[in-house]
A and B are shown apart, each in its own frame.
Chain A
Amino acid sequence: MKGSRGTRSTVALKILMALSGLAFIGFVLGHMYGNLKAFSGQAAFNEYAEHLRELGEPMLPHSGLLWILRVGLIVALVVHVVTALMLTRRAHAARTQKYAVKKNVASSISSRTMRWGGVTILVFLAWHLLNFTIGKINPATGDTGDAAGDPYSLLVDTFDLWWMTIIYLVAMVALGLHLHHGTWSSIQTLGFTSTAASRARAKAAGWIIAVVVAGGFSLVPLSVLLGIIEK
Protein backbone atom coordinates (compact mmCIF):
# COMPACT_ATOMS: atom_id res chain seq x y z
CA MET A 1 0.00 0.00 0.00
CA LYS A 2 1.51 3.28 -1.06
CA GLY A 3 2.28 5.79 1.65
CA SER A 4 1.63 3.30 4.41
CA ARG A 5 3.49 4.03 7.58
CA GLY A 6 5.37 1.41 9.49
CA THR A 7 4.73 3.17 12.75
CA ARG A 8 0.95 2.75 12.42
CA SER A 9 1.00 -0.93 11.63
CA THR A 10 -0.11 -3.81 13.80
CA VAL A 11 3.50 -4.86 14.00
CA ALA A 12 4.50 -1.48 15.42
CA LEU A 13 1.71 -1.74 17.99
CA LYS A 14 3.07 -5.11 18.93
CA ILE A 15 6.54 -3.72 19.32
CA LEU A 16 5.21 -1.12 21.76
CA MET A 17 3.38 -3.85 23.60
CA ALA A 18 6.55 -5.91 23.82
CA LEU A 19 8.65 -3.01 25.06
CA SER A 20 6.15 -2.06 27.75
CA GLY A 21 5.78 -5.72 28.65
CA LEU A 22 9.54 -6.07 28.99
CA ALA A 23 9.60 -2.99 31.22
CA PHE A 24 7.02 -4.73 33.42
CA ILE A 25 9.11 -7.84 33.52
CA GLY A 26 12.08 -5.79 34.71
CA PHE A 27 9.90 -4.21 37.37
CA VAL A 28 8.33 -7.39 38.68
CA LEU A 29 11.73 -9.08 38.86
CA GLY A 30 13.07 -6.23 40.98
CA HIS A 31 9.89 -6.02 43.04
CA MET A 32 9.90 -9.71 43.71
CA TYR A 33 13.50 -9.57 44.84
CA GLY A 34 12.58 -6.72 47.17
CA ASN A 35 9.67 -8.66 48.61
CA LEU A 36 11.97 -11.51 49.53
CA LYS A 37 13.59 -9.15 52.05
CA ALA A 38 10.56 -9.98 54.16
CA PHE A 39 12.42 -13.15 55.11
CA SER A 40 15.13 -11.00 56.68
CA GLY A 41 12.68 -9.53 59.14
CA GLN A 42 10.79 -6.34 59.80
CA ALA A 43 13.75 -4.00 60.07
CA ALA A 44 15.43 -5.12 56.92
CA PHE A 45 12.22 -4.96 54.93
CA ASN A 46 11.22 -1.50 56.10
CA GLU A 47 14.72 -0.25 55.60
CA TYR A 48 14.60 -1.53 52.09
CA ALA A 49 11.29 0.27 51.47
CA GLU A 50 12.80 3.44 52.79
CA HIS A 51 15.95 2.91 50.84
CA LEU A 52 13.89 2.85 47.65
CA ARG A 53 12.79 6.37 48.43
CA GLU A 54 16.29 7.56 49.14
CA LEU A 55 17.76 6.25 45.93
CA GLY A 56 19.37 8.92 43.82
CA GLU A 57 19.58 11.41 46.68
CA PRO A 58 20.89 14.01 46.94
CA MET A 59 20.84 14.50 43.15
CA LEU A 60 17.13 13.86 43.19
CA PRO A 61 14.62 14.90 45.84
CA HIS A 62 13.25 12.34 48.29
CA SER A 63 11.35 9.64 46.45
CA GLY A 64 12.65 11.19 43.22
CA LEU A 65 13.87 8.05 41.56
CA LEU A 66 10.83 6.20 42.77
CA TRP A 67 8.63 8.75 41.07
CA ILE A 68 10.59 8.50 37.86
CA LEU A 69 10.09 4.79 38.08
CA ARG A 70 6.41 5.25 38.82
CA VAL A 71 5.90 7.61 35.89
CA GLY A 72 7.72 5.13 33.66
CA LEU A 73 5.47 2.36 34.89
CA ILE A 74 2.34 4.40 34.40
CA VAL A 75 3.35 5.27 30.86
CA ALA A 76 4.17 1.64 30.17
CA LEU A 77 0.83 0.62 31.62
CA VAL A 78 -1.08 3.06 29.46
CA VAL A 79 0.84 2.00 26.36
CA HIS A 80 0.43 -1.68 27.19
CA VAL A 81 -3.27 -1.47 27.85
CA VAL A 82 -4.06 0.80 24.94
CA THR A 83 -2.15 -1.35 22.45
CA ALA A 84 -3.74 -4.45 23.97
CA LEU A 85 -7.16 -2.93 23.38
CA MET A 86 -6.37 -1.91 19.82
CA LEU A 87 -4.97 -5.29 18.88
CA THR A 88 -7.84 -7.11 20.53
CA ARG A 89 -10.35 -5.01 18.62
CA ARG A 90 -8.57 -5.74 15.34
CA ALA A 91 -8.44 -9.43 16.08
CA HIS A 92 -12.15 -9.55 16.82
CA ALA A 93 -12.94 -7.63 13.66
CA ALA A 94 -10.77 -10.00 11.63
CA ARG A 95 -13.12 -12.89 12.29
CA THR A 96 -16.69 -11.89 12.96
CA GLN A 97 -18.17 -15.21 11.87
CA LYS A 98 -16.89 -17.88 14.22
CA TYR A 99 -16.20 -21.50 13.39
CA ALA A 100 -18.76 -24.10 14.41
CA VAL A 101 -15.87 -26.37 15.35
CA LYS A 102 -12.35 -25.14 16.00
CA LYS A 103 -9.46 -27.13 17.39
CA ASN A 104 -6.35 -25.68 18.90
CA VAL A 105 -3.40 -27.78 17.96
CA ALA A 106 -0.21 -26.02 18.81
CA SER A 107 -1.02 -23.06 21.00
CA SER A 108 -0.42 -22.98 24.74
CA ILE A 109 -3.15 -22.10 27.23
CA SER A 110 -1.08 -19.11 28.20
CA SER A 111 -1.06 -17.75 24.66
CA ARG A 112 -4.83 -18.03 24.43
CA THR A 113 -5.50 -16.41 27.79
CA MET A 114 -3.34 -13.33 27.39
CA ARG A 115 -6.27 -10.97 27.16
CA TRP A 116 -8.25 -12.24 30.14
CA GLY A 117 -5.00 -12.75 32.03
CA GLY A 118 -4.11 -9.13 31.39
CA VAL A 119 -7.47 -7.96 32.67
CA THR A 120 -7.05 -10.11 35.78
CA ILE A 121 -3.68 -8.56 36.43
CA LEU A 122 -5.13 -5.09 35.95
CA VAL A 123 -7.88 -5.72 38.46
CA PHE A 124 -5.38 -7.23 40.85
CA LEU A 125 -3.11 -4.25 40.45
CA ALA A 126 -5.88 -1.84 41.35
CA TRP A 127 -6.56 -3.71 44.56
CA HIS A 128 -2.88 -4.22 45.24
CA LEU A 129 -2.13 -0.51 45.08
CA LEU A 130 -5.09 0.29 47.29
CA ASN A 131 -3.86 -2.38 49.59
CA PHE A 132 -0.21 -1.44 49.82
CA THR A 133 0.53 2.04 48.56
CA ILE A 134 -2.24 4.44 47.69
CA GLY A 135 -4.87 3.41 50.19
CA LYS A 136 -2.76 1.41 52.62
CA ILE A 137 -5.92 -0.52 53.41
CA ASN A 138 -5.28 -3.12 56.02
CA PRO A 139 -8.02 -5.67 55.59
CA ALA A 140 -7.10 -7.40 58.83
CA THR A 141 -7.60 -4.36 61.03
CA GLY A 142 -9.83 -2.40 58.70
CA ASP A 143 -7.46 0.55 59.11
CA THR A 144 -6.72 2.73 56.15
CA GLY A 145 -4.06 5.30 55.52
CA ASP A 146 -0.98 5.71 57.61
CA ALA A 147 -2.70 4.10 60.54
CA ALA A 148 -1.98 0.81 58.88
CA GLY A 149 1.54 0.98 60.16
CA ASP A 150 4.80 0.22 58.51
CA PRO A 151 4.97 -1.71 55.26
CA TYR A 152 6.12 -4.89 56.95
CA SER A 153 3.19 -4.95 59.35
CA LEU A 154 0.77 -4.24 56.58
CA LEU A 155 2.19 -7.12 54.61
CA VAL A 156 2.01 -9.60 57.45
CA ASP A 157 -1.46 -8.48 58.48
CA THR A 158 -2.69 -8.85 54.93
CA PHE A 159 -1.45 -12.36 54.37
CA ASP A 160 -2.53 -13.56 57.74
CA LEU A 161 -5.95 -13.62 56.14
CA TRP A 162 -6.31 -16.83 54.13
CA TRP A 163 -8.62 -15.29 51.56
CA MET A 164 -6.20 -12.44 50.87
CA THR A 165 -3.51 -14.98 50.28
CA ILE A 166 -5.79 -16.81 47.89
CA ILE A 167 -6.50 -13.61 45.94
CA TYR A 168 -2.78 -12.98 45.63
CA LEU A 169 -2.04 -16.54 44.64
CA VAL A 170 -4.71 -16.47 41.93
CA ALA A 171 -3.20 -13.27 40.65
CA MET A 172 0.20 -14.94 40.58
CA VAL A 173 -1.19 -17.78 38.48
CA ALA A 174 -2.51 -15.20 36.04
CA LEU A 175 0.81 -13.41 36.08
CA GLY A 176 2.75 -16.63 35.55
CA LEU A 177 0.64 -17.52 32.54
CA HIS A 178 0.93 -14.00 31.17
CA LEU A 179 4.67 -14.10 31.53
CA HIS A 180 5.05 -17.60 30.15
CA HIS A 181 3.71 -16.50 26.80
CA GLY A 182 4.59 -12.82 27.14
CA THR A 183 8.30 -13.32 27.57
CA TRP A 184 8.78 -15.47 24.51
CA SER A 185 6.24 -13.43 22.60
CA SER A 186 8.03 -10.16 23.24
CA ILE A 187 11.34 -11.63 22.09
CA GLN A 188 9.66 -12.88 18.92
CA THR A 189 7.94 -9.55 18.42
CA LEU A 190 11.24 -7.76 18.61
CA GLY A 191 12.59 -10.13 16.00
CA PHE A 192 15.24 -12.04 17.91
CA THR A 193 13.94 -15.52 17.18
CA SER A 194 14.65 -16.19 13.55
CA THR A 195 16.02 -19.69 14.08
CA ALA A 196 14.53 -22.76 15.69
CA ALA A 197 17.23 -22.68 18.38
CA SER A 198 16.69 -19.07 19.35
CA ARG A 199 12.98 -19.76 19.43
CA ALA A 200 13.51 -22.65 21.82
CA ARG A 201 15.67 -20.40 24.02
CA ALA A 202 13.00 -17.70 24.08
CA LYS A 203 10.39 -20.26 25.06
CA ALA A 204 12.66 -21.53 27.83
CA ALA A 205 13.09 -17.95 29.03
CA GLY A 206 9.29 -17.74 29.18
CA TRP A 207 9.15 -20.73 31.51
CA ILE A 208 11.97 -19.49 33.70
CA ILE A 209 10.62 -15.97 34.11
CA ALA A 210 7.12 -17.26 34.76
CA VAL A 211 8.22 -19.73 37.42
CA VAL A 212 10.72 -17.40 39.07
CA VAL A 213 8.39 -14.41 39.20
CA ALA A 214 5.14 -16.14 40.10
CA GLY A 215 6.92 -18.54 42.44
CA GLY A 216 9.09 -15.87 44.01
CA PHE A 217 6.13 -13.59 44.69
CA SER A 218 4.09 -16.44 46.12
CA LEU A 219 6.74 -17.32 48.71
CA VAL A 220 5.99 -14.35 50.91
CA PRO A 221 2.19 -14.71 51.22
CA LEU A 222 2.54 -18.47 51.68
CA SER A 223 5.19 -18.06 54.30
CA VAL A 224 3.05 -15.58 56.20
CA LEU A 225 0.06 -17.86 56.06
CA LEU A 226 2.17 -20.79 57.25
CA GLY A 227 3.64 -18.69 59.99
CA ILE A 228 7.20 -18.74 58.70
CA ILE A 229 7.11 -14.98 58.52
CA GLU A 230 5.50 -13.18 61.38
CA LYS A 231 5.51 -9.81 63.04
Chain B
Amino acid sequence: MNLTLNIWRQANATAQGAMHTYQLGDVSEDMSFLEMLDVLNEQLLAADEDPIAFDHDCREGICGSCDLMINGQAHGPEVTTTCQLHMRSFKDGDNITIEPWRADAFPVIKDLMVDRSAFDRIIQSGGFISANTGSAPEANAAPIQRDKALRAFNMATCIGCGACVAACPNGSASLFMGAKITQLGLLPQGQPERDSRVIGMVGQHDAEGFGGCTNIGECTAACPKEIPLDVISQLNKDLRTAIKNGH
Protein backbone atom coordinates (compact mmCIF):
# COMPACT_ATOMS: atom_id res chain seq x y z
CA MET B 1 0.00 0.00 0.00
CA ASN B 2 0.99 3.65 -0.38
CA LEU B 3 0.92 6.01 2.56
CA THR B 4 1.31 9.68 3.32
CA LEU B 5 3.10 10.18 6.61
CA ASN B 6 3.03 13.43 8.58
CA ILE B 7 5.82 13.14 11.08
CA TRP B 8 7.05 15.48 13.79
CA ARG B 9 10.71 16.35 13.24
CA GLN B 10 12.69 18.15 15.89
CA ALA B 11 16.50 18.24 15.88
CA ASN B 12 16.96 18.32 19.64
CA ALA B 13 15.31 19.31 22.90
CA THR B 14 15.65 23.03 22.35
CA ALA B 15 15.12 23.22 18.59
CA GLN B 16 11.84 24.28 17.07
CA GLY B 17 10.01 21.28 15.65
CA ALA B 18 7.57 20.96 12.78
CA MET B 19 5.52 18.40 10.93
CA HIS B 20 7.05 16.99 7.75
CA THR B 21 5.29 15.01 5.07
CA TYR B 22 6.73 11.87 3.50
CA GLN B 23 5.39 9.51 0.88
CA LEU B 24 6.05 5.82 1.36
CA GLY B 25 5.15 3.20 -1.20
CA ASP B 26 5.12 -0.57 -1.23
CA VAL B 27 4.20 -1.04 2.40
CA SER B 28 3.27 -4.62 3.19
CA GLU B 29 0.46 -5.30 5.62
CA ASP B 30 2.67 -7.84 7.40
CA MET B 31 5.03 -5.11 8.52
CA SER B 32 4.86 -3.84 12.01
CA PHE B 33 4.44 -0.10 12.34
CA LEU B 34 8.05 0.28 13.38
CA GLU B 35 9.24 -1.86 10.48
CA MET B 36 7.39 0.55 8.22
CA LEU B 37 9.40 3.38 9.81
CA ASP B 38 12.60 1.32 9.37
CA VAL B 39 11.88 1.18 5.66
CA LEU B 40 11.24 4.92 5.57
CA ASN B 41 14.50 5.51 7.43
CA GLU B 42 16.48 3.44 4.94
CA GLN B 43 14.95 5.55 2.19
CA LEU B 44 15.80 8.77 3.99
CA LEU B 45 19.36 7.61 4.52
CA ALA B 46 19.71 6.79 0.85
CA ALA B 47 18.49 10.29 0.04
CA ASP B 48 20.99 11.83 2.51
CA GLU B 49 18.26 12.87 4.89
CA ASP B 50 18.61 12.36 8.62
CA PRO B 51 16.64 9.27 9.66
CA ILE B 52 13.77 9.71 12.10
CA ALA B 53 14.64 8.99 15.72
CA PHE B 54 12.17 6.92 17.72
CA ASP B 55 12.43 4.74 20.79
CA HIS B 56 12.03 0.99 20.59
CA ASP B 57 13.77 -2.10 21.84
CA CYS B 58 12.00 -5.40 22.44
CA ARG B 59 9.46 -5.01 19.62
CA GLU B 60 7.41 -7.56 21.53
CA GLY B 61 5.13 -5.28 23.47
CA ILE B 62 6.79 -5.73 26.82
CA CYS B 63 9.70 -3.32 27.38
CA GLY B 64 7.60 -0.17 27.10
CA SER B 65 10.15 1.67 24.95
CA CYS B 66 8.03 2.39 21.91
CA ASP B 67 5.77 5.39 22.22
CA LEU B 68 4.18 6.96 19.19
CA MET B 69 1.07 9.07 18.94
CA ILE B 70 -0.53 7.78 15.76
CA ASN B 71 -3.42 9.71 14.27
CA GLY B 72 -4.17 11.22 17.63
CA GLN B 73 -4.16 7.95 19.53
CA ALA B 74 -1.41 6.76 21.83
CA HIS B 75 0.06 3.59 20.25
CA GLY B 76 -2.42 3.89 17.40
CA PRO B 77 -5.85 2.47 16.76
CA GLU B 78 -5.52 -0.95 18.45
CA VAL B 79 -5.18 -1.82 22.11
CA THR B 80 -1.51 -2.70 21.91
CA THR B 81 1.93 -1.16 21.82
CA THR B 82 3.25 0.69 18.79
CA CYS B 83 5.68 -2.14 18.05
CA GLN B 84 2.87 -4.69 17.98
CA LEU B 85 0.68 -2.58 15.75
CA HIS B 86 0.79 -3.96 12.24
CA MET B 87 0.17 -2.23 8.96
CA ARG B 88 -2.90 -4.34 8.32
CA SER B 89 -4.67 -1.87 10.61
CA PHE B 90 -4.25 0.72 7.85
CA LYS B 91 -5.25 0.86 4.22
CA ASP B 92 -3.87 2.03 0.94
CA GLY B 93 -3.85 5.80 0.60
CA ASP B 94 -4.08 6.49 4.32
CA ASN B 95 -2.75 9.67 5.78
CA ILE B 96 -0.97 8.93 9.06
CA THR B 97 0.09 11.58 11.54
CA ILE B 98 2.88 10.55 13.90
CA GLU B 99 3.79 12.68 16.89
CA PRO B 100 5.75 12.22 20.10
CA TRP B 101 4.05 11.92 23.49
CA ARG B 102 3.14 15.46 24.48
CA ALA B 103 3.61 16.30 28.13
CA ASP B 104 5.89 18.86 29.69
CA ALA B 105 7.08 16.19 32.10
CA PHE B 106 8.19 14.17 29.04
CA PRO B 107 10.34 16.66 27.11
CA VAL B 108 11.16 15.78 23.50
CA ILE B 109 14.76 14.66 22.99
CA LYS B 110 14.69 14.35 19.23
CA ASP B 111 11.98 13.77 16.64
CA LEU B 112 9.63 11.20 18.16
CA MET B 113 11.73 10.45 21.22
CA VAL B 114 10.87 11.78 24.64
CA ASP B 115 12.49 11.67 28.06
CA ARG B 116 10.40 9.56 30.42
CA SER B 117 12.83 9.55 33.34
CA ALA B 118 10.13 11.23 35.42
CA PHE B 119 8.60 7.75 35.76
CA ASP B 120 11.82 6.41 37.27
CA ARG B 121 11.83 9.24 39.77
CA ILE B 122 8.24 8.49 40.73
CA ILE B 123 9.26 4.89 41.44
CA GLN B 124 12.26 6.13 43.43
CA SER B 125 9.86 8.06 45.61
CA GLY B 126 8.18 4.97 46.97
CA GLY B 127 7.29 2.47 44.25
CA PHE B 128 9.01 -0.45 45.90
CA ILE B 129 9.00 -2.76 48.88
CA SER B 130 12.08 -2.44 51.04
CA ALA B 131 13.40 -5.97 51.18
CA ASN B 132 17.15 -6.15 51.56
CA THR B 133 18.81 -8.96 49.67
CA GLY B 134 19.28 -12.04 51.75
CA SER B 135 16.88 -11.07 54.49
CA ALA B 136 13.80 -12.59 52.88
CA PRO B 137 11.67 -15.12 54.74
CA GLU B 138 10.71 -18.44 53.13
CA ALA B 139 8.55 -17.63 50.12
CA ASN B 140 5.63 -19.84 51.13
CA ALA B 141 5.61 -18.64 54.75
CA ALA B 142 2.82 -16.17 53.99
CA PRO B 143 0.19 -17.53 51.57
CA ILE B 144 -1.60 -14.91 49.51
CA GLN B 145 -5.20 -15.36 48.40
CA ARG B 146 -5.20 -16.35 44.78
CA ASP B 147 -7.61 -13.66 43.61
CA LYS B 148 -5.57 -10.98 45.33
CA ALA B 149 -2.42 -12.37 43.78
CA LEU B 150 -4.08 -12.37 40.37
CA ARG B 151 -5.24 -8.82 40.77
CA ALA B 152 -1.81 -7.74 41.91
CA PHE B 153 -0.41 -9.42 38.84
CA ASN B 154 -2.82 -7.61 36.53
CA MET B 155 -1.75 -4.27 37.94
CA ALA B 156 1.90 -5.25 37.76
CA THR B 157 1.72 -5.70 33.99
CA CYS B 158 2.18 -1.96 33.43
CA ILE B 159 5.14 -1.50 31.11
CA GLY B 160 5.82 2.13 31.97
CA CYS B 161 5.26 3.28 28.40
CA GLY B 162 3.57 6.56 29.26
CA ALA B 163 0.63 6.18 26.88
CA CYS B 164 -1.68 7.03 29.76
CA VAL B 165 0.00 10.41 30.16
CA ALA B 166 0.02 10.97 26.42
CA ALA B 167 -3.70 10.28 26.11
CA CYS B 168 -4.86 12.13 29.21
CA PRO B 169 -6.20 15.61 28.46
CA ASN B 170 -4.64 16.75 31.73
CA GLY B 171 -1.27 15.05 31.14
CA SER B 172 -1.74 13.09 34.35
CA ALA B 173 0.27 9.98 35.26
CA SER B 174 -2.35 8.73 37.68
CA LEU B 175 -2.92 5.43 35.91
CA PHE B 176 0.78 4.59 35.98
CA MET B 177 1.07 5.51 39.65
CA GLY B 178 -2.17 3.83 40.58
CA ALA B 179 -1.09 0.55 38.99
CA LYS B 180 2.00 0.35 41.16
CA ILE B 181 0.24 1.51 44.31
CA THR B 182 -2.55 -0.99 43.81
CA GLN B 183 -0.19 -3.88 43.09
CA LEU B 184 1.98 -3.34 46.14
CA GLY B 185 -0.99 -2.44 48.33
CA LEU B 186 -2.65 -5.78 47.66
CA LEU B 187 0.25 -7.75 49.10
CA PRO B 188 1.00 -8.23 52.78
CA GLN B 189 4.63 -7.31 52.09
CA GLY B 190 3.48 -3.93 50.80
CA GLN B 191 1.64 -2.80 53.93
CA PRO B 192 4.40 -1.25 56.09
CA GLU B 193 5.25 1.37 53.48
CA ARG B 194 1.75 1.88 52.19
CA ASP B 195 1.23 5.42 53.45
CA SER B 196 4.69 6.72 52.71
CA ARG B 197 4.54 5.13 49.26
CA VAL B 198 1.46 6.99 48.09
CA ILE B 199 2.55 10.27 49.65
CA GLY B 200 5.98 10.04 48.10
CA MET B 201 4.83 8.99 44.67
CA VAL B 202 2.04 11.55 44.39
CA GLY B 203 4.39 14.25 45.66
CA GLN B 204 6.94 13.41 42.99
CA HIS B 205 4.25 13.12 40.34
CA ASP B 206 3.17 16.67 41.08
CA ALA B 207 6.73 17.94 41.29
CA GLU B 208 7.46 16.53 37.84
CA GLY B 209 4.67 18.66 36.41
CA PHE B 210 2.09 16.03 35.50
CA GLY B 211 -1.48 17.21 35.69
CA GLY B 212 -4.12 16.14 38.18
CA CYS B 213 -6.63 13.46 37.26
CA THR B 214 -10.22 14.52 36.64
CA ASN B 215 -11.34 10.96 35.92
CA ILE B 216 -11.73 11.43 32.21
CA GLY B 217 -10.75 7.87 31.34
CA GLU B 218 -8.74 8.34 28.13
CA CYS B 219 -5.72 6.82 29.88
CA THR B 220 -7.18 3.40 30.41
CA ALA B 221 -8.46 3.27 26.85
CA ALA B 222 -4.96 3.96 25.54
CA CYS B 223 -3.19 1.60 27.94
CA PRO B 224 -1.77 -1.34 26.00
CA LYS B 225 -1.94 -3.45 29.14
CA GLU B 226 -5.53 -2.48 29.90
CA ILE B 227 -4.84 -1.21 33.40
CA PRO B 228 -8.34 -0.35 34.69
CA LEU B 229 -9.50 2.91 36.27
CA ASP B 230 -9.85 1.05 39.57
CA VAL B 231 -6.26 1.82 40.28
CA ILE B 232 -6.85 5.56 40.33
CA SER B 233 -9.64 5.09 42.82
CA GLN B 234 -7.30 2.99 44.92
CA LEU B 235 -4.61 5.64 44.66
CA ASN B 236 -7.06 8.28 45.86
CA LYS B 237 -8.22 6.09 48.68
CA ASP B 238 -4.68 5.33 49.80
CA LEU B 239 -3.84 9.01 49.77
CA ARG B 240 -6.93 9.83 51.78
CA THR B 241 -5.99 7.17 54.32
CA ALA B 242 -2.44 8.43 54.47
CA ILE B 243 -3.63 11.98 55.17
CA LYS B 244 -5.92 10.63 57.85
CA ASN B 245 -2.94 8.86 59.36
CA GLY B 246 -1.18 12.17 59.67
CA HIS B 247 0.98 12.37 56.54
Contact = CB atoms under 8 A, between A and B. Distances in A.
Interface in B163-212: 167, 169-172, 182, 198-200, 202-207, 209-212
B36 interface: no
A228 interface: no
B148 interface: no
A189 B215 contact: yes
B69 A196 contact: no
A114 interface: yes
A85 to B, nearest CB: 12
Interface in A36-60: none
Nearest to A111: B216
A126 interface: no
B97 A93 contact: no
Interface in A178-215: 181, 184-185, 188-196, 199
B104 interface: yes
Contacts of B215: 111, 181, 184-185, 188-189
B203 A1 contact: yes
A175 to B, nearest CB: 17
Given A95-B103, A107-B217, A185-B214, A191 B209 contact: no
A91 B171 contact: yes
Interface stretch (B23-31, B57-65, B135-143, B220-228): B220-228
Contacts of B171: 91, 94-95
Contacts of B221: 105-106
B41 interface: no
B32 interface: no
A193 B207 contact: no
Contacts of B200: 1-2, 4
Using C-beta atoms within 8 Å of the partner chain, give the interface range for chain B: 35 or more
B66 interface: no
A149 to B, nearest CB: 43
A12 B193 CA distance: 19
Interface in A1-20: 1-2, 4-15
Given A6-B247, A189-B236, A99 B72 contact: yes
A227 to B, nearest CB: 42
B99 A101 contact: yes
B234 A191 contact: yes
Interface of B: 6, 8, 19, 69, 71-73, 97, 99, 102-105, 125, 167, 169-172, 182, 198-200, 202-207, 209-218, 220-222, 228-240, 242-243, 247
A-B complex: 9 closest residue pairs judged by Cβ atoms: A4-B203, A191-B237, A94-B171, A10-B212, A94-B211, A106-B221, A103-B72, A91-B170, A101-B72
